[in-house]
Amino acid sequence: MNKEFFTQPLTSLCATLCDFAGVTPPEHAAPLCDELKQSLISQSGVSKTDRILMYNPDAVADYIYDKYADKFALCEQIAPVRQRFITVFPPKTPVCFASMYTGAAPEKHGITKYEKPVVTIDSIFDAFIRAGKKPCIVSVKNQSMDKIFRGRDMAYFSEKYDDEVVERALELMDKDEYDLLCVYNQRYDDSIHRTWPTSARSRHALDCYASSFVKLGEKVKTCWQNHDTLIGFAPDHGVHRMLIGLGNHSSNIPQDMNISHLYGIIPKK
Ligand SMILES: [Zn+2]
């Protein structure tokens, strides 16, 4: 396990995605992550993409990713660029997703604890809409990603649970109407709170995340052949096991703060 904190801030992701889309980043977004930008360009030879598919699997810590790396082998074939980020504090779901998609620190976007108000500062969704592009969020109903970016002139789909979210996303990809599609899943986060980060139930949740991401990646290859697509596997925060045995994430420790994302560009045919 990595005992040091990673240094690349998660807030730099937002401007990086905007750069690939040719969209001016939201007002308070941190500067882009040049390391990720250059790696993706050298991986694909593509520097601009007209589709972005973000898969947001909740709570996959960097060390958990490493421990079960074999589960993610097929994901890495789709998205071969691994980018390590330090998430924002406190490492709670709405705090982290608000920073991921505004590029701003918690004090700036206003969510600094576990609560799910609508984020009112400029976000990637506003930036895409201003650029004439169509964003869409598909989430489990009432979860952070379902609630905190409401109020924009964009599409939202609220589903029963992870499988329904993925099914909806695949259906939307068939229709090919959205330029930025964010797809939220939560099974691992649910499991670590009820059991612990390496329980059989939690390991199964990681398998589900991996197979869902592969399904989405395969769908890009078949349905979005006319587009250059940036695809990402992008968790919000990590997890640790408490002394009482259950998993949790709220501490300023590398287990909770260090995350690994996967990215790839699938060029058009
Ligand atoms: Zn979370």
CA of 134 to the centre of ligand 1 (A): 25
Percent pLDDT > 90 in the chain is 96
For 16-21, which contacts have Cβ atoms below 8 Å and span 24 or more sequence positions? 17/52, 17/54, 17/124, 17/180, 17/230, 17/232, 18/124, 18/127, 20/47, 20/48, 20/49, 20/52, 20/230, 20/265, 21/48, 21/49, 21/50, 21/52, 21/128, 21/131, 21/133, 21/179, 21/180, 21/230
pLDDT digits (tens, 9 = 90+) for 123-171: 999 999 999 999 999 999 999 999 999 999 999 999 999 999 999 999 9
Calculated CA dihedral for residues 222, 226, 230, 235, nearest 10 degrees: -40
CA of 268 to the centre of ligand 1 (A): 32
CA of 45 to the centre of ligand 1 (A): 33
Flag whether pLDDT at 176 surpasses 90.
yes
| Over residues 49-65, mean pLDDT | 97
Predicted local distance difference test score (pLDDT) of residue 157: 98
CA of 58 to the centre of ligand 1 (A): 5
1 falls within a domain: no
CA of 190 to the centre of ligand 1 (A): 9
Domain that holds residue 116: 12-266
CA of 59 to the centre of ligand 1 (A): 5
168 falls within a domain: yes
5 falls within a domain: no
7 falls within a domain: no
CA of 129 to the centre of ligand 1 (A): 26
Percent pLDDT > 70 in the chain is 99
CA of 178 to the centre of ligand 1 (A): 25
Confidence of residue 245 (pLDDT cuts 50, 70, 90): confident
Confidence of residue 242 (pLDDT cuts 50, 70, 90): confident
CA of 80 to the centre of ligand 1 (A): 23
Predicted local distance difference test score (pLDDT) of residue 117: 97
Number of folded domains that form the chain: 1
41 falls within a domain: yes
CA of 217 to the centre of ligand 1 (A): 22
CA of 147 to the centre of ligand 1 (A): 14
Task: Report the predicted TM-score, pTM, of the whole model to 2 decimal places.
Answer: 0.97
CA of 1 to the centre of ligand 1 (A): 20
Higher pLDDT among residues 215 and 269, named by residue: 215
pLDDT digits (tens, 9 = 90+) for 226-241: 999 999 999 999 999 9
CA of 152 to the centre of ligand 1 (A): 23
Predicted local distance difference test score (pLDDT) of residue 141: 98
Flag whether pLDDT at 37 surpasses 90.
yes
| Over residues 29-54, mean pLDDT | 97
CATH number for the domain harbouring residue 233: 3.40.720.10
205 falls within a domain: yes
Kindly give, in sequence order, each residue whose CB lies less than 8 Å from that of residue 27, ignoring residues fewer than 6 positions away.
121, 122
Flag whether pLDDT at 2 surpasses 70.
no
CA of 93 to the centre of ligand 1 (A): 3
Flag whether pLDDT at 243 surpasses 90.
no
Flag whether pLDDT at 100 surpasses 90.
yes
63 falls within a domain: yes
